[in-house]
């Protein structure tokens, strides 16, 4: 029997600040599905979603503080693991 993976998600406001974050999430999570809705973007991923500071910085071309995501974060689903370098959403099994 195959294991069913629960979906995690992150919802962000749609604005200039979140464009590089969304691009980084798409780059680092090939199985993620990005849904563009009025005023927000919802990124769903099976099992795990990773946001890497280094990928956002590469896209922006400047230093970026991972904690600044909280300004534009609407909601998320999953257990959160955070360091200075990445944010991981997943479900504990």
Residues 47 and 32: their CA atoms lie apart, in Å, by 10
Regarding the domain with residue range 7-90, which homologous superfamily does it belong to in the CATH classification? Monooxygenase component MmoB/DmpM (3.90.56.10)
Residues near 17 by Cβ (< 8 Å), separated by ≥ 6? 68, 71, 72
pTM of the complete model:
0.91
Domain limits, the chain: 7-90
pLDDT tens by residue, 19-67 = 999 999 999 999 999 999 999 999 999 999 999 999 999 999 999 999 9
Look at residue 72 and tell me whether its pLDDT is greater than 70: yes
């Amino acid at each position: 029997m195959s294991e069913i993976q629960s979906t995690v998600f992150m919802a962000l406001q749609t604005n200039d600040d979140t464009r590089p974050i969304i691009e980084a999430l798409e780059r680092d999570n090939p199985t993620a599905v990005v849904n563009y809705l009025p005023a927000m973007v919802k990124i769903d991923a099976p099992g795990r979603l990773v946001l890497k500071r280094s990928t956002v910085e590469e896209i922006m071309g400047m230093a970026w503080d991972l904690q600044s995501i909280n300004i534009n974060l609407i909601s998320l689903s999953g257990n959160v693991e955070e360091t200075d370098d990445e944010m991981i959403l997943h479900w504990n099994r």
